[in-house]
Amino acid sequence: MIVDDHPLWRRGLRDVLSSEDDLEVIEECSDGQTALELARERRPEVILLDVNLPSMNGLQIATRLRSERNEARLILLTGYDDEEQALHAIRAGCSAYCVKDIAPAKLVSIIRRVVEGYYVIREEEYDFNKLQEWLNLRIEAATGPYMVNPEEHFVPLSPREMEILRYVTQGKTNKQIAQSLGISHQTVKNHVSSILTKLDVEDRTQAAIYAMRRGWVRIDD
C-alpha cells in the first residue's frame, strides 16, 4: 500500500512496483486516517509511508499501527534526512527508513528484504540484534554517554502530544491550548515538558522548528 498525498509520486511508485512480478499494489491513499482504515481492512504486507502528510504524519500512523499489532512492514519515506529522524522512525515501529530520492531498483530490493524480516536504514541492512546496537549507539551519541535515562529520548510522541505540538507550532500558549482542547493548564504543561524531553530540545521554539523541519506538522494545518 502506498500512502502519499502527491498523486504524481504515487503514480510513479505504482508504475515501478507493478512492473515487478512478485509485487502488487493493492491500495493507495493520501491521508493518515484513510491509511489506518485501509491497513486494518486490507492487511497489506508492506506500507510505503510518507512522513509529511496532512492532519496525521507518517510517524503517527506507524505508532498507531504498531499499537494495534498490525503486522505490515512499514517503510518510511522522507524528504528530510537526518539521524534523529531515522531514530524516530525505527522507534515508531518502521522496518525501513529511506530518502525519497532513492533509486527505484533499490526501493524494490528493500521491500523484499523487510518482508524477509530485515531492517534497512539509509540502504544499510540490519538484523534485529544489529538494529538494537545501532539504536543504542545513536541514542548515546545524540544524548551523551552520561544521560540518566537515554530511553526517554526519541520515543514516539503520543497522539495527544502530537496534537499539542501542532498547536505549539501555531504559536499558541499553554493557556490557549488548554482552552482549545478542554483540558487543564497543568496537563498541557506536563505534555509540553514530555515533548521537550522526547525530542531532546530545550524549549517550545526548538520543538516547533524540529517538527516543521522534519515534516511532522504543516503550516497549513
Joined together, the cell numbers standing for residue 92 give 515508531
pLDDT, tens digit, 9 for 90 and up, residues 183-192: 999 999 999 9
What domains can be seen in the chain, in order of their start residue? 2-136 (3.40.50.2300), 157-213 (1.10.10.10)
Q: Widest CA span of the chain, in angstroms?
A: 56
User: With 80 as the cut, is the pLDDT of residue 39 above it?
Assistant: yes
Mean pLDDT of 86-110: 94
Contact call for residues 2 and 11 (beta carbons, < 8 A): no
Kindly list the distances between the CA atom of residue 4 and the CA atoms of 10, 92, 162, 185, in Å, as whole numbers in the listed order. 6, 18, 20, 35
Predicted local confidence at residue 148, as pLDDT: 46
Residues 123-158: tens digit of each pLDDT: 899 999 999 999 888 877 766 654 445 556 677 888
Angle formed by the axes of helices 128-143 and 83-91, to 10°? 130
